[in-house]
Amino acid sequence: MGIVYRNDNGEIVSKEEYESELAKFQINVDAQYNIIVNELLKEINNNAHSDKEKLWMLYDYLTSENMSYDLTVHPTDTRSATPQRYSFRNYKKLTIAQDSKYPAILNNSGVCITYSLAFEDLANRLSIPCRVVKGYTGMDHAWNVVLIDNEVKQIDVAYAIMNRKISDKKDFFLKNSFNGRTITSSISDLERDMREQQYLREHPQIVINSRTDDGEEEPRITIHR
């Protein structure tokens, strides 16, 4: 039996109709996400006087009291967790995936990857190099690294939310490292990537040409002055 495609009303439709409706759904999700994000970034840019202040305002927003960590569907054994999906406006069946940046902004909820992806997106929109880093803290976990004042610092939005009753959120903001964690991401690769981003931010006249050498799957980036 083949795959059965259904629209938002539960009616059976063709694959093409389903994909078209799904694309429109994503456009609507993006649009609403950007409305909220653009207002937030405008407020941050208008009030912060340094990159550190910008990061703090963003961090403070994402760790505010109305943000929740969705423990109900995310047990300690994350390998067996069933990813949650979140409702969106007037849709009945089409929902937002938990492992995306959207629920942190549109639903004020999510897990570590949700908040890490949202923080990465917004920090980069503030022109502060930021990446998601993954590791193990007793469970599979994701948080962020940023390049600020020529140093790589770590920020953990999810842990600040989960521990708000017992810890100061400052304990998870701009740290050199976190104790008791195994990092599986390559910090050196992330740092190199962020430093290149920072360099291009500071030298907008630079032209980037990408090319792929024979036998290499990933393109090399050549920077020309």
**Of 80 and 204, the one with more pLDDT:** 204
CA distance 80 to 125: 34
Please report the pLDDT score of residue 217 as a whole number: 53
- Where residue 224 falls among pLDDT bands split at 50, 70, 90? very low
Evaluate if residue 90 carries a pLDDT over 90.
Answer: yes
Evaluate if residue 12 carries a pLDDT over 90.
Answer: yes
CA distance 43 to 67: 19
Mean of per-residue pLDDT scores for the chain = 90
Please report the pLDDT score of residue 76 as a whole number: 52
| Residue range 32-85, pLDDT digits in tens | 999 999 999 999 999 999 999 999 999 999 999 999 998 765 555 555 556 789
CA distance 208 to 108: 37
**Of 207 and 85, the one with more pLDDT:** 85
| Residue range 106-120, pLDDT digits in tens | 999 999 999 999 999
- Residue 51 and residue 150 in contact, taking contact as beta carbons nearer than 8 Å: no
Please report the pLDDT score of residue 73 as a whole number: 54
CA 49, 206, 195: angle at the middle one, nearest 5? 55
Please report the pLDDT score of residue 109 as a whole number: 96
Evaluate if residue 219 carries a pLDDT over 90.
Answer: no
Evaluate if residue 222 carries a pLDDT over 90.
Answer: no
Please report the pLDDT score of residue 84 as a whole number: 85
Please report the pLDDT score of residue 70 as a whole number: 87
Q: What is the arithmetic mean of pLDDT over 129-150?
A: 96
Which domains does the chain possess? 5-185 (3.10.620)
The percent helix, strand, coil of the chain (3-state, each to 5) is 45, 20, 35
Rg (CA), the chain: 20
Please report the pLDDT score of residue 225 as a whole number: 40
CA distance 160 to 146: 17
